[in-house]
Structure 1
Amino acid sequence: MSISVVIGAIELGLIYAVMGLGVYLSFRVLNLPDLTIDGSFTCGCAAAAVCTVAGHPYLGFVGAFLCGSLCGLTTGFLMTKLRIQPILAGILTMTALYSVNLRIQGGRPNISMFGMRTIFTDMQSLIGEDAASLVTILAVLVLLGLVLYLFLHTQLGLSLRATGSNEAMVRASSINADRMKLIGLALANGIIACSGALLAQYQSFADVSSSTGKMVLGLASIIVGEAFFGHRTILRGMLSVVAGSLIYRFLLTFALQFGMSASDLNLFSALLVALAISLPYIKKRRRAHA
C-alpha cells in the first residue's frame, strides 16, 4: 500500500471522525438513535457546495452548520412535540431531506467545485500542497472537538448529559428535557453537516446521494473505538471516536487493496459493526467457559 493511499485513508478517517463526534453526541450523550444523519450530512455537502460556487467557501461551513441544525431541530420537534418515536422521526426527516437537498442544489443531483477556491486551496498557498489537506482537516477536527468538549462541561452541557443518562431525574429537577433534546440534536446534526461540508470541499464535488451508509459509518467509528479504548469519560469517548474512525477507514482501505469490490463496502461495514457490538458478549462467553 503506497504512502499516498495511507495519507488518503488518514484524511478521510479524520473527516468522518468529525461526523463521528456528532453521532457520539446523539447516540451516546443524548442516548437517542437519531437517523437524521444520512440527510443532514448531505445537507451540509449541498450548502457548502452552493456557497463555494458563489465564492464563499468559509461561509459554506456556517451555512452547513445552520442547515444541519435545522435538520436536527426538525427531528427533535417531531419527537418532543408530536411524540413520534425517535427512530421514525429520524427516518421521516431523512426522507424529506432528499428533496430539500435537491432544492438547495438547484435541482441538480451533483455540483462540481473543481478549480474553485476552497479552504484547502487557501491552505495550499500558505503551507504547500503536500500537507495542506491533512493540516486543514486536522484543524477543523480539533476546533470542533474542543468546542464540543468545552460545551459539554458547561451548565447547559451537563444538563444535556443528564438528560441522556436519566431523563426522569432531569424532569424531576425542573429541567426541560424536551428543550435539551432539541439543543442536543441541533448541535449533533450541525457538526455532522460540517463533516459533509468538509468532505465536499475535499473532494471538490457534492452529490445528493453521498450520504448513503453514513449512519453505519458513524456507529462503526463509535463502536470500534470504544471496543479498544472505552468511553468512561467524555474526553476518552471523543478520542475513541477519532481512533475508531481511523481504524475503520484503514480496514476499508485494506479491504479495497485486497480486491474487495466497492459495491460490497456497505456489507463489510455492517458486518464490522455487528462484530464490534457483539465483541463484549463474545469475551464474556469465553471467560465463562474458560
Structure 2
Amino acid sequence: MFTALFGSVEQGIIYAIMALGVYLTFRVLDFPDLTVDGSFVTGAATAAMMIVLGYHPILATITAIVAGFIAGCMTGLLHTKGKINPLLSGILMMIALYSINLRIMGLTAENAIVRPNIPLLNSDTVFTQFQSFWGNLGIDTALTDFLKNTLGLKTAPSTWGTIIIVLIITLAIKFIADWFLKTEVGLAIRATGDNKRMIRSFSANTDTLIVLGLGLSNALVAFSGALIAQYSKFADVNMGIGMIVIGLASVIIGEAIFGTKTIFRTTLAVVAGAIIYRIIYAVALRIEWLDTGDMKLITAVIVILALVIPQVLEKQREKKRKAKRRIERQHELAQGGNRLA
C-alpha cells in the first residue's frame, strides 16, 4: 500500500506542473483552453521521438516545452486574430494536434508514417539518469532501510531519484510562476483575465498578453507530458484524453482545501491538489468493485465532490453567521429596552 501511494505522489507531483498550466488559463486568464488534451501529448510525443532518435533527454524535454508553447500560441492566435470563440479555438487546436502528434511519433520510423505510440523501455531518460546518480551516492539504499527499520515496512520504494528530481522541478516552477505573476507582464496578464476593457484603457495589447499566457500555459502542460512519457516509459496518442478534467480537478481540490488568498498560497494549493487527486484515485482503484476502466467515472465523482462540498460548507457557515448576527441584534435590542426602562 505504501509503495502504491509513493508512486501516486510521484505522479501527482509531475501532473502538478500540468495543473499549474491549467491554472494560468482558467483562473488567471479566464480562458477555457481545451488545447491541454492535445499539447500534453505533443510534449510526450516530442520528447519520446527525440529520445528514440538518440538526443539527450534534457534537450528532448526542452524541445517538448517549446512545442507546447507554439501550440498554445496558435490557440491564442486563432482567438485573437481569427476572432474565434475561446472554447472553439481550443477544440480546433486539440483536434489538429491529434494528427500532428501522430506525425511526430511517426518520425521515429525510417519512413515517416502515422504512428500511435512510442515505447521507451530500453531508452535513457531524465529519471534513469537521476536514479543512477542517487543510487551511486547510496541515498536510495539508506532511505529504503530507514523506512523499513523505522516504520516496520516489509516493502519500501527502492528508487528515490525520481521523486526528488520531480519535487525540485515542480517547486522551482511554482516559485517562478509566483515571481512571474507579480512582474509587470504577469500583472498585465492577470488584469486581462479580470477586465479586458480596463487593461486596454492603459494602452496594453491584450491580444499579445492572451497569446503569451496561452503559450506559457501549454508549455507547462507539454513539459508535464514529456516527464510523464519518460516516467511511464512510453508515449501514446491517447494519453492526453481527459487531461483538462484532471487539471481542473487538481485546481478545484487545492483551492477548496487550502484557499486562494495569495498567489503563493494558490499555486501551492494547485500543487497539493494534484498530489491529493492522485492519492484519492489510487485509493479508489483499490476498492474491489472498481477497476482501471472506471478512471473517468472516478475523476468525474472527485470533481463533483470538490465543487459541491465547498458550497455546502459555505452555506452552513453563512447560516451560522446569520444566526449569530440575529442573536447579537436581539441582545442589542434587549439592552436598549432595558436602558429606556
Give the shorter-chain TM-score range: over 0.9
Deviation at 1:195, TM superposition (A): 0.1
Structure-2 separation of matches of 1:137 and 1:85? 36
Structure-1 separation of matches of 2:96 and 2:76? 15
For the pair 1:116 / 2:118, whether they are aligned, the reply is: no
Counterpart of 2:204 in 1: which secondary structure? Answer: coil
Deviations 1:20-61 (A, max 9, x none): 010011111111111110000000000110111122211111
Q: Which amino acid aligns with 1:205?
A: F
CA contact (8 A) 1:151 1:157 kept: yes
- For residue 97 of structure 1, what is the aligned residue in structure 2? 97
Deviation at 1:289, TM superposition (A): 5.7
Gap change, CA 1:181 and 1:104, over 3 Å in 2: same
CA contact (8 A) 1:119 1:136 kept: no
Structure-2 separation of matches of 1:261 and 1:125? 34
Q: Which of 178, 181, 205 is the aligned partner of 2:234?
A: 205
Q: Which of 294, 302, 324 is the aligned partner of 1:264?
A: 294
The count of residues paired between Structure 1 and Structure 2 equals: 289
- For residue 88 of structure 1, what is the aligned residue in structure 2? 88
- For residue 74 of structure 1, what is the aligned residue in structure 2? 74
CA contact (8 A) 1:14 1:137 kept: yes
Q: Which of 307, 310, 316 is the aligned partner of 1:280?
A: 310
- Structure 1 segments unaligned to the other structure (5+ residues): none
Residue range with higher mean Cα deviation, 219-228 or 149-158: 149-158
Structure-1 separation of matches of 2:301 and 2:132? 42
Query: Structure 1 length as normaliser, TM-score?
Result: 0.96
CA contact (8 A) 1:43 1:101 kept: yes
Structure-2 separation of matches of 1:227 and 1:284? 11
Deviation at 1:146, TM superposition (A): 2.4
Counterpart of 2:62 in 1: which secondary structure? Answer: helix
Identical aligned residues as a percent: 46
- For residue 29 of structure 1, what is the aligned residue in structure 2? 28
- For residue 171 of structure 1, what is the aligned residue in structure 2? 200
Structure-2 separation of matches of 1:226 and 1:146? 17
Structure 2 counterparts to residues 86-235 of structure 1, below 5 A: 86-106=86-106, 107-128=114-135, 130-235=159-264
CA contact (8 A) 1:46 1:197 kept: yes
Structure-2 separation of matches of 1:7 and 1:31? 34
Query: Structure 2 length as normaliser, TM-score?
Result: 0.82
Structure-2 separation of matches of 1:288 and 1:170? 34
Deviation at 1:287, TM superposition (A): 4.2
Deviation at 1:277, TM superposition (A): 1.6
Deviations 1:77-127 (A, max 9, x none): 111111111111111100111000001001211101112111111112211
- Structure 2 segments unaligned to the other structure (5+ residues): 107-113, 141-158, 321-341
Structure-1 separation of matches of 2:71 and 2:279? 30
CA contact (8 A) 1:30 1:161 kept: yes
Structure-2 separation of matches of 1:221 and 1:165? 22
Structure-2 separation of matches of 1:284 and 1:29? 23
Structure-2 separation of matches of 1:225 and 1:265? 20
Q: Which amino acid aligns with 2:273?
A: G
Structure 2 counterparts to residues 53-72 of structure 1, below 5 A: 53-55=52-54, 56-72=56-72
CA contact (8 A) 2:174 2:268 kept: no
Deviations 1:245-274 (A, max 9, x none): 111111100111112111111112112112
Counterpart of 2:235 in 1: which secondary structure? Answer: strand
- For residue 43 of structure 1, what is the aligned residue in structure 2? 42
Structure-1 separation of matches of 2:228 and 2:318? 45
For the pair 1:251 / 2:280, whether they are aligned, the reply is: yes
RMSD: 1.3
Structure-2 separation of matches of 1:204 and 1:114? 5
Deviation at 1:188, TM superposition (A): 0.2
